[in-house]
Structure 1
């Protein structure tokens, strides 16, 4: 009898290290989390895996003290995600319903994983703009967040994002003197 074994996917050390930094941040050690994420950002480089760059920048933004720095990191996360989604090598266009994966060296990540970041990225950028009193930019990002959240499957993540979008919208409206 021949036994077939499924090979386990190789551990993604970068995502593990990002996760460790996130745990440090959530545990209250913001500076150490920022230091580790910064070192990892340097290691990955500007041409590293798009999913890694997006994830890292997304969480690096949360460790920033200055709202302008937070915005810069959130924009880097969005750039990494958008760059992968829109810039495919010639002849590699996905067919409808196809689950694309990140090309290049290193681990493969489903395109859907990057797309799932979009509502959160736009929401975070909207919050950054709101913190910087850039209301028009904040509202534009909220519109993008609403559109992209509709592409997600129903569930807690989608509903949580919808609720967060509405809370930020209310906060922006109140700050601008509009009452719903």
Structure 2
């Protein structure tokens, strides 16, 4: 039996809190947890926390800060560590979503060329994703951001509602 990862449990609890209508409390819990983990802590904890915390920020610049931290953490993450948490995880599978989120943040900030580069990076890594809910969601997100980029839109997408 695998030991319970208390940090991942705390991250999941905060994410659940945010998804059930209290994003401010979720942000606070995740930020406090980040302070405990530290910038050089367990890469799985850092990538998970930063990825979720980015979604809890209204302003694209704040979300971008956390999405960059998530990407940096993914660079330090190994498949062995990811699979110690869940056997089906592969670090390669993180990248399409990470780059998609970065593309959307840069788009919202008006950095359209940088957004396109991250969208291309997300698209280039789609082969690692299954045709399941997660994979289909990432693919739909890429299409949504691509359409917004084509219009040079900096508006928040209706498919990515405000956390507040």
Does the C-alpha gap of structure 1 residues 112 and 27 become closer, same or farther in structure 2, counting only changes over 3 Å? closer
Unaligned stretches of 5+ residues in structure 1: 1-7, 86-99
After superposition, what is the alpha-carbon deviation per residue over 1:18-60, rounded to whole angstroms, capped at 9, x for unaligned? 1111111111211110110011101111222111100000011
User: Would you say 1:172 and 2:157 are equivalent positions?
Assistant: no
Q: What does residue range 55-66 of structure 1 map to in structure 2 within 5 Å?
A: 55-66=48-59
Contact 2:112 2:152 survives alignment (8 Å): no
Q: Tell me the TM-score normalised to structure 2 length.
A: 0.84
Tell me which protein shows more helix as a share of its residues: 2
Match of 2:23 among 19, 24, 30: 30
Q: What does residue range 39-118 of structure 1 map to in structure 2 within 5 Å?
A: 39-84=32-77, 100-102=79-81, 108-109=84-85, 112-118=89-95
Larger CA deviation: 122-131 vs 110-119: 110-119
Does the C-alpha gap of structure 1 residues 48 and 154 become closer, same or farther in structure 2, counting only changes over 3 Å? same
Larger CA deviation: 126-135 vs 8-17: 8-17
User: Would you say 1:124 and 2:101 are equivalent positions?
Assistant: yes
Larger radius of gyration: 1
Root-mean-square deviation over aligned CA pairs = 2.0
Q: Tell me the TM-score normalised to structure 1 length.
A: 0.77
Larger relative contact order (C-alpha < 8 A, sep ≥ 6)? 2
What is the distance in 2 between the residues matched to 1:30 and 1:154? 30
SS in structure 1 opposite 2:81? coil
What corresponds to 1:134 in structure 2?
111
Contact 2:106 2:115 survives alignment (8 Å): yes
What corresponds to 2:5 in structure 1?
12
Moved over 6 A (4+): none
